[in-house]
């Protein structure tokens, strides 16, 4: 092969570079350390600990029956929390399960006049309170930006956004509920006196 071809291959990194051949030797050359012996370390197997019995450490595991619950199985506790007790009457096996009830707070009405007002919308939404965003009287470009922000907020926090009337949107956080009467009132255009 010609010299310029060899140089081109070397420059592209496709061939052997004569500069490094002396340092590393030929690919087929013998290794000078090949016959050298080394001292093996003695492998010490770690001592095994005895297995714990089920009475040590953690408590025993028992299966929980999968039965449908009736109204007698639960009672309403403080702060709108349902406590569901097991069907067993043995006091040692009764364990309650705490599940939050859906929030049915009255929606807060926000009428933004600028994009900076979305912070109030987001703060209210993050407190799990529904928000009515009234965009009536807001220019089209600002309205589009506010709707984009609100839809991203709802998506990010697993909420819901719906249009209830012309330029009026209801943002509902995950787990919160708005009554049908409240929705009907919003569709009729009655937003109450909560306007900002």
| CATH number reported for the structural domain that contains residue 133 in this entry | 3.30.110.150
Same domain, 93 and 134: no
Same domain, 116 and 170: yes
Q: Residue 78 is part of which domain span?
A: 73-100
45: in domain: no
Count of domains for the chain: 2
Give the model confidence (pLDDT) of 28-76 as tens digits: 555 566 666 667 766 667 676 665 554 454 555 655 556 655 655 555 5
The stretch 78-104 carries a mean pLDDT of 56
Token look-up 């071809």 returns 5
Predicted pLDDT of residue 195: 42
The whole-angstrom separation of Cα 5 and Cα 156 is 59
Give the model confidence (pLDDT) of 134-184 as tens digits: 998 899 999 999 999 999 999 999 999 999 888 889 899 988 888 788 877
Same domain, 176 and 140: yes
Same domain, 112 and 181: yes
| Helix (H) / strand (E) containing 11 | helix 3-12
Question: Which residues fall within 8 angstroms of residue 134, CB to CB, at 6 or more apart?
Answer: 109, 110, 111, 167, 168, 191, 195
Same domain, 113 and 172: yes
Q: What is the mean pLDDT of the chain?
A: 73
Same domain, 112 and 182: yes
152: in domain: yes
The whole-angstrom separation of Cα 102 and Cα 64 is 26
């Amino acid at each position: 092969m010609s010299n310029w071809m060899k140089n081109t291959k070397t420059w592209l990194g496709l061939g052997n570079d004569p500069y490094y051949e002396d340092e590393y030797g030929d690919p087929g050359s013998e290794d000078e350390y090949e016959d050298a012996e080394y001292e093996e370390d003695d492998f010490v197997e770690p001592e095994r600990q005895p297995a714990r019995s089920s009475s040590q450490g953690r408590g025993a595991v028992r299966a929980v029956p999968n039965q449908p619950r009736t109204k007698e199985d639960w009672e309403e506790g403080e702060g709108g929390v349902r406590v569901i007790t097991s069907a067993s009457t043995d006091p040692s096996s009764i364990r309650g399960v705490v599940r939050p009830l859906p929030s049915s707070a009255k929606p807060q009405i926000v009428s933004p006049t600028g994009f900076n007002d979305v912070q109030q919308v987001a703060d209210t939404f993050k407190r799990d309170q529904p928000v009515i965003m009234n965009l009536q009287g807001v220019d089209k470009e600002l309205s589009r930006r506010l709707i984009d922000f609100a839809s991203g907020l709802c998506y990010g926090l697993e909420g819901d956004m719906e249009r209830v009337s012309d330029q009026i949107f209801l943002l509902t956080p995950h787990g919160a509920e708005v009554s049908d009467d409240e929705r009907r009132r919003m569709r009729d255009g009655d937003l109450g006196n909560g306007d900002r």
